[in-house]
Amino acid sequence: MTVSDPAALVERHECPTCQAPPGSPCRTRGGKVSPQYHSPRHMAVPQLRAELKVKTPADRSPGRAWAPGPAVAPVSVAEVVTEGIARIGYARCSTATQELQSQLDALSDAGCDPIFEEKISTRIKVRPEFTRALDLAAMVKRTTPQVRVHFVVHELKRLGRGTLELVNTAEQLRQQDIYLELLSGPLQGVHDPSGHGAALFAFFAGMAESERDYIRDKTLEGQASARERGRHGGRPEALDADLVAMARDLYARHVPVDDIRRKLIIPTGKRAGQHPSRATVYRALAPVLRPRGDAEAEAGSPTE
């Protein structure tokens, strides 16, 4: 069976959402054929797990009254099961500049299939690939309860950084009888966070959160130290100290800001050789800008 016939692939599985049996399309709550297959059902097919939706083909009569199709032998989730264990991997890093390949290699070597990946911060409340990985793990356990399901990550902080978030995730897995497997770190190995293990997991979750706070505090300290030495982060200033002094001297001699801008040339950077913007000039003049009323008076404009 190939992906060229996605409906046949999907319908080899029972639908966890609408309980449509193998061989039948999904159905709506109103008792009609659904226009597309429910996500937990098509995600059970490895070739289709990355699809956002899989449409119901016309020959299944979407929108009409639902009726069971011809019975077919239900398929197990053998595609993700090895020696009675289904390992579903999840890889995550916070920014686009960080690399994921080392995590993906480790998960692949551990026998994970499928592996969900995303580049997203744990500060983001909704992580789509993380949710999909959890949903697939739950679906595999529901459809084949005899299979032992492992949710696998490279290290604890790939799940999250906050203690409450980590403990809640572990409890969610425990309630669905899904094991948490960590490939590195102090909790390396297969972990069932229940009983005495719950306290140990909470301890290391707290350590992960403390590590995040420590990194943040050291980063802020480094930035403050750099500012004290005159080093500021971000894009370099368009005007150097000599040009700023020149702009302020011209302004003190009542030269209009637009004329000052045209006399200045940016010396370095992407805009080297160009005139600065009005906003850049105003930022340079900020400490010496005259109040608006005074400027109008000097120009001979009436003031209120």
Q: Which residue matches tokens 């500060």? A: 123
Of the candidates 61, 76, 94, 184, the residue annotated as catalytic is 94
Report which residue type is found at 14.
Answer: E
Is residue 277 annotated as a catalytic residue, yes or no?
no
CB 179 within 8 A of CB 190: yes
Q: In whole angstroms, what is the distance from residue 176 CA to residue 136 CA?
A: 12
Neighbours of 279 (CB within 10 A): 9
Q: In whole angstroms, what is the distance from residue 2 CA to residue 77 CA?
A: 16
C-alpha angle with apex 1: 128 to 76, nearest 5 degrees?
65
Q: Give, as one character, the DSSP assignment of residue 194.
A: S
CB 67 within 8 A of CB 133: no
CB 183 within 8 A of CB 152: yes
List the catalytic residues.
94
